[in-house]
Chain A
């Protein structure tokens, strides 16, 4: 009596498992296929992008070189890298400093100032596009790196995230450091930040990603190649060269590859950091 039942439930479990594997495969195809199509189209002759065949009849490796030479993509990539790295460093620094004050210092108006910092989470950046554009124009910052970095150099989410982490770090560490003669700044830099590396790395990757992928603001405040980011460069390249699809796809491959490679090698880091962004809500 028991044997057939266990057998039955076992085979049911096995078929459910195979069902899950099959659905997983379908889901993977749905999410990855657009990128595969992009990659293959980048190496097709122009006459073949609309033929419906998945693989090119002959591989046009030259498309990549041609795209690279048709617009200053090297410069765009360098701009994006520079802007994203500096923005990330700035956000981590300003957040750590403010978070330390809010977590560990007592001073008047603390509650009000903390509310001022967190209140920015309620004010969406897109609503501020126009006045910020005017401010940056008045500063004479149109077409400059400052315009792409300074407005994003502080983050309420960063302050909040790091404050939580600092509050959870044992106070004894700070007392010991003070007894050893460390100033608050030294304690912050040499102890508090190193012990909170996981949170710092989550904040860094999220900031880097959003800076690297930013579109509307860089589009509005730059119109010269010297300061264009890779996203704006791609958008304008695609509207200029729209008819030459393999070339546009090759440019897209150039633009997405650095970030995707970074992602493939650090997938766990990305995903865990993204999970931390749920604290925003």
Chain B
């Protein structure tokens, strides 16, 4: 009993002082933390809550928004256009990502080789990353013109059949994928190049002294050692392509016949062409959940896989 009072007096003596100094510490850090955290709260966390709230309303920017419960979600899941858009987004994201991983790695090998054109090669591969999306769209829109555009002209001159490219529902998505890879593969290539330069030469040399050919070394030593880079490249590219729709916004407006109607563009259109903010918010939340689960998948894989070197 006496012990208890003793302890409690001790606490009551030290506690205010400690919490006082803690408060001082927090106040001391506040000027440093506040600018960044304020922006995160106002432009990331608050809008996240708001988009979730809006998804349960019929907000249309004109009248007062009414609570409609799950009806946006129900409508979304019953809408064939949503599912078609979802499918197109998955195809687009996987196609661009896989191409960027494979091509990015191949380009990095080439960029790392001691060729005379090396500097020029690195510069050329990365140049489209620097060119804006708007300019990319304008240029490729011209290059892929169905009637006697430069690329069709080129195909014709070597005896290949011309294509409708962006104007044909059968080829439009593939064309957008091609433009996206042209524009985007520079980043994975540079990330792989950095990865390659981080691998110790000795390992590869030891293997080739042991009689392994160039492709064997690449397959059994270099590529496995690049696994951490592959993981990063794969998810950066996947998360990026799942939400990006700038090219589609400028090149095809989701068409022809809805063949390039990416989820991001579908949201944009619902929001800013039809002013269906509630529905667009429900779609945004669906996209967010999708990206969030991809993020967790990445974390799980990163924990499990990348313990080489």
Contact = CB atoms under 8 A, between A and B. Distances in A.
B194 A216 contact: no
Interface string B36-47: 110110111111
Interface of B: 22, 25-26, 28-29, 31-33, 35-37, 39-40, 42-48, 50-51, 54, 107, 110, 113, 115-135, 137-143, 145, 147-150, 153, 156-157, 182, 186-187, 190-191, 193-194, 229, 231-233, 235-236, 239, 243-246, 249-250, 264, 267-268, 271-272, 277, 280-281, 284-285, 287-288, 291-292, 295, 298
B125 A249 contact: no
25 contacts: A27-B107, A31-B127, A34-B143, A37-B150, A50-B147, A101-B33, A110-B29, A117-B36, A123-B44, A123-B288, A127-B243, A127-B288, A128-B284, A130-B284, A131-B281, A132-B43, A133-B271, A215-B133, A215-B134, A220-B272, A248-B138, A252-B139, A274-B191, A278-B191, A281-B231
Interface in A241-256: 245, 248-249, 252, 255-256
Given A130-B277, A215-B134, A116 B236 contact: no
Contacts of A108: 22, 25-26
Given A130-B271, A278-B191, A151 B142 contact: no
A146 B47 CA distance: 17
Interface in A239-281: 245, 248-249, 252, 255-256, 259-260, 263-264, 267, 270-271, 274-275, 277-278, 280-281
A52 B169 CA distance: 25
A21 B117 contact: yes
A88 B42 CA distance: 19
A107 B153 CA distance: 66
B110 A31 contact: no
A116 B125 CA distance: 36
A14 interface: no
Contacts of A38: 135, 139, 142
B244 to A, nearest CB: 8
A38 B116 CA distance: 27
A116 B26 contact: no
Nearest to B125: A31
Contact of B150 (A25, A52, A131, A220): A52
Contacts of A31: 124-125, 127-128, 182, 186
A81 interface: no
Interface string A201-212: 000000001001
Contact of B113 (A20, A50, A105, A238): A20
B145 A156 contact: no
**A-B complex: 3 closest residue pairs judged by Cβ atoms:** A281-B232, A52-B153, A131-B47
A252 B143 CA distance: 13
A32 interface: yes
Interface residues on A, range: 35 or more
A144 interface: no
Most A-side CB within 10 Å, residue of B134, B153, B295: B134
Given A20-B115, A126-B243, A281-B232, A35 B131 contact: yes
Contact of B32 (A28, A101, A281): A101
Contacts of A220: 272
A20 B214 CA distance: 13
A66 interface: no
A281 B148 contact: no
A267 B118 CA distance: 13
Contacts of B190: 271, 274-275
A271 B124 CA distance: 11
A164 interface: no
Contacts of A142: none
A22 to B, nearest CB: 10
B2 to A, nearest CB: 33
Contacts of A234: 132, 134-135, 138
A156 B44 CA distance: 11
